[in-house]
């Protein structure tokens, strides 16, 4: 087993009292798998990913990567966030090389590795460009190249396409599936976008809100040709209805209505 999360519990203590963000989370991601967790805002998705990345510590429970307990961040877990996290003063290649530099990889080797992954994400021509010269989609490609460059055992992604427009998002989803296939990377991605989760993953964990628990695990069996037309497949619609129903039972729909302004 690759990634294993056992009886994970996370409680935050704030001035307004304590809040249980995650309760009794059990999940696993096998080598080479692409797994998504889908849940409404506040269901603890980012908290879960931060715990797996070792950026925060669980209140109870454990996280294992290849049977070794996670106690902090490490190069075995690559992370891609929703917001753009490139260093603005470094060019694209330097950004991709940064993690390798921290690991003490020699310059020559770093250069080769960065060049290779920039080619994988289709940005070889932009090695010397600064992040401000790139579009949102291109920045996320660089972030993916940077995460892949350290050759992590697992790629952790927190709503990586959340800030992109619909068309760019679709292109990036296709692109990510191609990368997953060509590099055999293990991916765990979290999103609130039900279609995205079904389109990308082989398995989905549906999360409930406040506290975040795993409501259901679904196996997704769809033709994997990485083309958006699979979204029009009747089986795709059935999966979507099923996940939406699970989220709705949990108040997902009513919450989004509640968030609308009262005065119209
Ligand atoms: N550092 C923190 N201190 C206190 N409470 C926190 C902290 N981080 C998260 N929370 C709370 O934990 C709950 C889950 O937050 P989290 O950010 O994990 O949700 P999410 O599913 O990622 O939401 P979104 O879809 O909006 O990104 C929320 O109620 C949030 O207010
Ligand atoms: Mg979040």
CA of 82 to the centre of ligand 2 (A): 8
Pocket test for ligand 1, best of 15, 19, 39, 160 (most atoms within 8 A of CB): 19
Residue 3 inside a domain? The answer is yes
Answer whether residue 81 is part of any domain: no
Per-residue pLDDT at 26? 97
The CATH number of residue 241's host domain is 3.40.50.300
Domain annotation covers residue 139: no
Ligand 1 atom index nearest CA of 50: 18
Largest CA distance in the chain: 61
| Ligand 1 atom showing the smallest separation from residue 159 Cα | 27
Inside any domain, residue 182: no
Hey, which of 8, 42, 51, 82 would you mutate to test ligand 1's pocket, going by the most ligand atoms within 8 Å of its Cβ?
Answer: 42
Question: 157 in a domain, yes or no?
Answer: no
Q: Report the pLDDT value the prediction gives residue 226, as an integer from 0 to 100.
A: 67
Instruction: Give the global pTM.
Output: 0.90
Instruction: Give the per-residue pLDDT at 252.
Output: 53
pLDDT tens digits for range 95-153: 999 989 988 999 999 999 999 999 888 899 999 999 999 998 899 899 999 999 988 99
What is the structure's pLDDT at 188? 97
Ligand nearest to the CA of 55: 1
In a domain, 35, yes or no: yes
**Ranges of residues in the chain whose predicted pLDDT is under 50:** 253-264
**3-14, strands of its sheet edge to edge:** 17-29, 3-14, 60-65, 68-69
pLDDT of residue 60: 97
Output the ligand 1 site: residues, CB below 6 A.
12, 14, 19, 21, 39, 41-47, 192
Domain annotation covers residue 20:
yes
Q: For the chain, what is the domain count? A: 1
Domain housing 209: 1-71+190-264
């Amino acid at each position: 087993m690759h990634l294993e999360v056992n009886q994970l519990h996370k409680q935050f203590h704030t001035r307004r009292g304590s809040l249980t963000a995650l309760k009794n989370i059990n999940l696993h991601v096998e080598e080479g798998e692409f797994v998504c967790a889908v849940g409404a805002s506040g269901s603890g998705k980012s908290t879960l990913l931060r715990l797996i990345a070792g950026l925060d510590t669980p209140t109870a429970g454990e996280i294992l990567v290849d049977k070794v307990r996670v106690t902090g961040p490490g190069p075995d877990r690559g992370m891609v966030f929703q917001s753009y996290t490139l260093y603005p003063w470094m060019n694209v290649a330097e950004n991709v090389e940064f993690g390798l530099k921290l690991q003490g990889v020699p310059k020559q080797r770093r250069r080769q590795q960065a060049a290779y992954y920039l080619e994988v994400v289709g940005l070889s021509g932009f090695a010397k460009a600064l992040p401000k010269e790139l579009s949102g989609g291109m920045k996320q490609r660089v972030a993916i190249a940077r995460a892949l460059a350290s050759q992590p055992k697992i790629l952790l992604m927190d709503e990586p396409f959340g800030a992109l427009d619909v068309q760019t998002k679709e292109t990036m989803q296709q692109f990510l599936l191609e990368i997953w296939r060509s590099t055999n990377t293990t991916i765990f991605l979290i999103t609130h976008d039900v279609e995205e989760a079904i389109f990308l993953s082989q398995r989905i964990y549906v999360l409930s809100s406040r506290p975040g628990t795993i409501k259901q695990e679904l196996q997704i069996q769809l033709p994997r040709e990485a083309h958006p037309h699979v979204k029009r497949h009747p089986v795709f619609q059935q999966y979507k209805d099923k996940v939406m129903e699970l989220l709705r039972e949990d108040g997902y729909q009513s919450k989004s209505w509640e968030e609308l302004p009262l005065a119209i």
